[in-house]
Amino acid sequence: MKTVSLNTMIDKHIGKVGTKRRDSFENELKIDLLGNAIKKARQERHLTQEQLGELVGVQKAQISKLENSITNARFETILKVFTALGAKVNFNVELSDKLLTLS
């Protein structure tokens, strides 16, 4: 049995880095990770989606959509969610020759 790396499989089935299909795939993956982070933090705080929605000022359905990566939420809403959860948010901005970290 031949062993193949995950990156090799993604290159083969999704496309090489820099292609439109690969960029779309990676963007969706990042959105999924963000939704999972929101859900995990909410559960660790023992909050329901409805309770978190009340803290943020949105409906339960909006929290559900965020957690399930169904919506393209406004950046402001995502920050409000993490603030309500007492979570620290960090961002990395990658330039072609530098990495900037924003906290």
pLDDT of 47-98, one tens digit each? 999 999 999 999 999 999 999 988 777 888 888 999 999 998 887 667 766 6
**Number of domains forming the structure of the chain:** 1
- What CATH number did the domain enclosing 23 receive? 1.10.260.40
Angle at 49 between CA 66 and CA 24, to 5 degrees: 10
Flag whether 89 is in a domain.
yes
How much is the pTM? 0.70
Flag whether 84 is in a domain.
yes
Flag whether 1 is in a domain.
no
pLDDT of 21-46, one tens digit each? 888 888 778 888 889 999 999 999 99
Flag whether 48 is in a domain.
yes
Give the separation between CA 50 and CA 60, rounded to whole angstroms: 4
The residues pairing with 91 across neighbouring beta strands, listed in sequence order, are: 102
Give the separation between CA 98 and CA 88, rounded to whole angstroms: 23
Flag whether 41 is in a domain.
yes
Domain containing 87 equals 6-102
Flag whether 96 is in a domain.
yes
Flag whether 11 is in a domain.
yes
Flag whether 55 is in a domain.
yes
